[in-house]
């Protein structure tokens, strides 16, 4: 009897082990959590499995700190600042220090710029400055412009004058002229020093904000017969009102000896002054430039240029340019044509956000 009982117990144990082995193994739900490396991750995993304990702190994205009155005042001042004040840092509140880079003239790329008339034989009254063999050119080319400025000296005279350096480079690239190896037809370089003064007076509903005296050099860096260049003393007088600016820019050419002058009659074509009117609203920027020689008869020449930058998507803006008259470039200073181009604007011209690099 005792022996039978031992057999029954042994058989029962074997059966129990067999049943347990036959049952499928259940995965441990906490194994995934235990495998995590950081306490924060493991705690979040256990909370997902078993629910966060009552009263536990739940991490949230921190909210930005409340704006102080000083911050609010600065924001309102930014919104109400004049366009010229922002571009030239005229008031003490707008001054940003020296050696910061910002836009000077518009910066853009025109993927297609069409000329109504090609200047295949550029000419000048200077000896040896006329091309005798026609240059093979396409009507359509690529045009792009880079223009930056930086303040060299802040508060030259009190807090109402600053010394700036500006640089503008514009190129015309015969990209679609494969038969001539796609040459750069013309690149003009314009460095300048500008002493800018803050002004504050009213005239016919406009506020006079700015006056500058500039020394401006412009050349195309080419050899004779294609060399063109001139130096000017330029005065700028700037007015603005909400959403508008007007720049009056008369200049005086620094004359050279006739033997070294690439283009002695350039003033009669490129003019002796210009007016620039700019309108900005809701991300659009429209400008109109009018230039004239201020002479009559056979010496009466001028040009008009219209530019429109418009939003496309996000920070990307389209750009349309129309030019009619003389002097679209230095090599064409005495050549009249109409030009129409379309492309993109790379920097919002009249904007505080257009400052490129901070110290």
Catalytic residue chosen out of the listed positions 91, 130, 150, 217: 217
Q: Which residues are CB-contacts of 247 (< 8 A; sequence separation ≥ 6)?
A: 236, 237, 238, 239, 275, 276, 277, 278
Give the contacts of 238 (CB within 8 A, at least 6 positions apart). 84, 88, 208, 209, 210, 211, 212, 245, 246, 247, 248
Which residues pair with residue 170 across a beta bridge? Answer: 145, 188
- Residue in 130, 150, 161, 219 annotated catalytic: 219
> What gap in Å lies between CA 198 and CA 151, rounded to an integer?
14
Q: Residue 301 catalytic? A: no
d(CA 278, CA 267): 25
* Residue 5 appears among annotated catalytic residues: no
CA angle (275, 82, 288) in 5-degree steps: 25
Give the distance, in angstroms, between the CA of residue 128 and the centroid of all CA atoms in the same chain: 39
What SS3 class is residue 12? helix
CB 139 within 8 A of CB 115: yes
Asked if residues 204 and 182 have their Cβ atoms less than 8 Å apart, the reply is no
* 192 closest CA partner among 213, 222, 220: 213
Task: Give 146's strand partners.
Answer: 169
Residue with tokens 């009190």: 158
Residue 89 to residues 16, 92, 96, 150: CA-CA distances in angstroms?
A: 89, 8, 7, 11
Write out the catalytic residue numbers: 217, 219
């Amino acid at each position: 009897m005792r022996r039978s009982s031992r057999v029954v117990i042994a058989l029962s144990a074997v059966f129990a082990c067999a049943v347990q082995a036959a049952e499928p193994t259940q995965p441990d739900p906490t194994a995934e959590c235990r495998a995590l490396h950081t306490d924060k991750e493991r705690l979040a995993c256990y909370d997902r499995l078993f629910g966060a304990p009552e009263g536990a702190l739940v991490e949230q994205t921190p909210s930005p700190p409340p704006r102080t009155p000083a911050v609010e005042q600065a924001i309102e001042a930014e919104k109400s600042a004049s366009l010229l004040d922002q571009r030239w840092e005229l008031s003490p509140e707008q001054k940003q220090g020296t050696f910061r880079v910002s836009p000077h003239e518009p910066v853009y790329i025109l993927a297609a710029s069409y000329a109504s008339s090609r200047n295949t034989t550029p000419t000048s009254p200077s000896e040896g400055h006329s091309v005798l063999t026609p240059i093979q050119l396409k009507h359509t080319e690529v045009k792009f412009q880079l223009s930056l400025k930086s303040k060299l000296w802040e508060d030259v005279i009190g807090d109402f004058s600053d010394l700036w350096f500006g640089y503008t480079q514009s190129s015309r690239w015969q990209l679609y002229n494969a038969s001539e190896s796609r040459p750069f037809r013309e690149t003009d370089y314009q460095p300048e020093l500008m002493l800018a003064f803050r002004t504050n007076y009213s005239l016919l509903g406009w506020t006079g904000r700015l006056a500058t005296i500039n020394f401006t050099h412009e050349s195309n860096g080419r050899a004779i017969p294609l060399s063109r260049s001139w130096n000017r003393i330029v005065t700028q007088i700037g007015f603005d009102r909400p959403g508008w600016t007007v720049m009056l820019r008369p200049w005086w050419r620094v004359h050279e000896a006739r033997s070294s002058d690439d283009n002695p009659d350039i003033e009669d074509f490129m003019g002796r002054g210009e007016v620039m009117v700019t309108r900005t609203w809701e991300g659009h920027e429209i400008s109109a430039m009018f230039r004239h020689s201020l002479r009559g008869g056979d010496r009466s020449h001028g040009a008009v240029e219209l530019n429109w930058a418009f939003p496309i998507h996000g920070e990307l803006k389209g750009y349309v340019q129309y030019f009619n008259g003389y002097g679209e470039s230095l090599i064409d200073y005495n050549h009249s044509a109409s030009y129409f181009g379309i492309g993109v604007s790379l920097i919002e011209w009249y904007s505080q956000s257009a400052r490129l690099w901070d110290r």
